[in-house]
Structure 1
Amino acid sequence: MSPTRLKSTDPVDIPGWTWQPFLEDAIKAMNSLNIESYPVKEEFLFKQDQTGSKAKPVTVTTATWACKTEKFRQVRAACVSAGGAASVLNFVINPLARFDLPFFGGDLVTLPAGHLLALDLQPADKSDESHTQPVWDRLLPLFEHWRSKLPDGGPIPDEAQPFFSPGFLWTRLPLGEEGDHLIETVVRPAFNEYLKLYLELAATAQPVSDSRRDHLLAGQRRYTDYRAEKDPARGMLTRFHGGEWTEEYIHTVLFDL
């Protein structure tokens, strides 16, 4: 990959990056949607730095893939590869508030202690049954199927509960052959099924009234404000690329609403 990519929809190709097949699956699933490039500053499209010790330096690559469509305000993938220190794909679809849709969220993280993997269709307003129930009626059967094949990831903080659905698929897997096998045979097909359902919901979504749009937009802002404030990648990105770059990346790319 060249040091600078000209468009946010240019391919991400990072040698040795664990999650390349997942991003390729997602882009392939969206190819029929007439995607357009999403504006991302050049310095956030592709960045490389060094981590580790002077004796054993490790190259860190952070790349961004992003697009928009008729119904999605922003679709973006944050891709981090740092050898054994970290490998991350954070893939989020932000719908336009004119359509009554949740967010799609896929967080796939490999750290020295293991894999942390999460999938969800996240509500803009969890208390609004007209927003959530049609989604959860279709999501929960998928969740139950894939949850039975994975260890539970453990509890999530109470303050985070409003931002996750009952179909939040969350697991921790060990490094090595066992974890790799589950990623390929369970996590990857689960990722693709969650995304397929999301795109089906989007395909049938119709524009809502102005008052409904304003309600959904307020919920979306609560979600993105929370995610920007509590982003668990902040410490890692700061270590890799510095605090100033990281804060601007979080607030102007990852959660820019």
Structure 2
Amino acid sequence: MSIPAAPRATSLDPVQLPDWRWQCFLDEAVAALQPLGPEPYPIDPQFLSREGVTGSKAKPVPVATATWACQTEKFRQVRAACVSAGSAASVLNFVINPRTCYDLPFFGADLVTLPNGHLLALDLQPVDRGDRLHTEAVWPELLTIFERWKQALPDGGPIPEEAQPYFSPGFLWTRIPLGAEGDALIDAVIRPAFQEYLQMYLKLEASASPVSAERSEQLLAGQKRYTRYRAEKDPARGMLSRFYGSEWTEAYIHDVLFDLESQSV
């Protein structure tokens, strides 16, 4: 009798990392996407999960990285890059890339814990902030959500001028301390803000209608500018290179995290 082959890993396999701070955020996002009928997104198996070691020889720290990804009718790629490295780092980078035949912004969440504190960001990121057709219907509702949560958080600091075109007026950005105070803010503010930003984005998705071919080309050009910038400036490059080497890291950044150049839309 033949032995059934083991099921092949896919990008929809649940992520469960040891001592990972952001598990409930990813679980809630995955659950929110289920009504859209998500299908696996093609990712090379070498990027679905990876383990390594950081720290010194005397005090090695286990590192685990995992990727969750899907695609839907209106989303070209939804992906979560997840890193757990004990006290050295705990990261969730969750991005929704819309198909360019729909006039939608990106959804972006960066939830990062490092030894000196938490760096947390939420946004509905425009393809082109100066494009009024693309933005003006979105920001009033987003700003209402933004203002409500912003007042409960310390400011994250200035945004570099070169990055400003890629963030909306509702960019929620904060730095908070480790420990009980930071944990309380994450539970009371960041988690419900994440849920509200995501629910607003999914409401935009539900109402989005196909655009003209000309408009789709404009959106594609804007998305390519955005993804090139993000790939060039990815702040995780140094950390991932320390964990896994530069060759794997560059392939992960360009072929998974910001893969638009190599994909059909």
SS at match of 1:124: coil
1:223 aligns with 2:199: no
SS at match of 1:65: strand
TM-score, with structure 2 as normaliser: 0.95
Distance in 1 of aligned mates of 2:224 and 2:21: 31
* Displacement of 1:137: 1.6
> After the TM superposition, which segments of 4 or more aligned residues of structure 1 sit over 6 Å from their partners?
none
Q: Which residue of the partner structure matches residue 9 of structure 2?
A: 6
Select the structure of larger CA radius of gyration.
Answer: 2
AA partner of residue 239 (structure 1): R
SS at match of 1:232: coil
Q: What fraction of aligned residue pairs are identical, expressed as a percent? A: 69
Q: Which residue of the partner structure matches residue 29 of structure 1?
A: 32
SS at match of 2:138: helix
* Displacement of 1:5: 6.7
TM-score, with structure 1 as normaliser: 0.98
Q: Which residue of the partner structure matches residue 214 of structure 1?
A: 217
SS at match of 1:27: helix
Distance in 2 of aligned mates of 1:214 and 1:27: 29
- 2:241 maps to which of 233, 238, 242: 238
SS at match of 1:49: strand
AA partner of residue 78 (structure 1): A
Count of residues paired in the alignment: 254
AA partner of residue 11 (structure 2): S
1:91 aligns with 2:94: yes
Distance in 2 of aligned mates of 1:56 and 1:89: 25
Unaligned runs of 5+ in 1: none
1:8, 1:64 within 8 Å by CA — same for their partners in 2? Answer: yes
- 1:152 maps to which of 152, 155, 161: 155
SS at match of 1:134: coil
1:5, 1:42 within 8 Å by CA — same for their partners in 2? Answer: no
SS at match of 2:80: strand
Unaligned runs of 5+ in 2: 1-6, 261-265
Aligned CA-pair RMSD: 0.9
Q: Which residue of the partner structure matches residue 107 of structure 1?
A: 110
Distance in 1 of aligned mates of 2:187 and 2:44: 33
1:41 aligns with 2:41: no
Q: Which residue of the partner structure matches residue 164 of structure 2?
A: 161
Q: Which residue of the partner structure matches residue 256 of structure 2?
A: 253
Distance in 1 of aligned mates of 2:23 and 2:161: 32
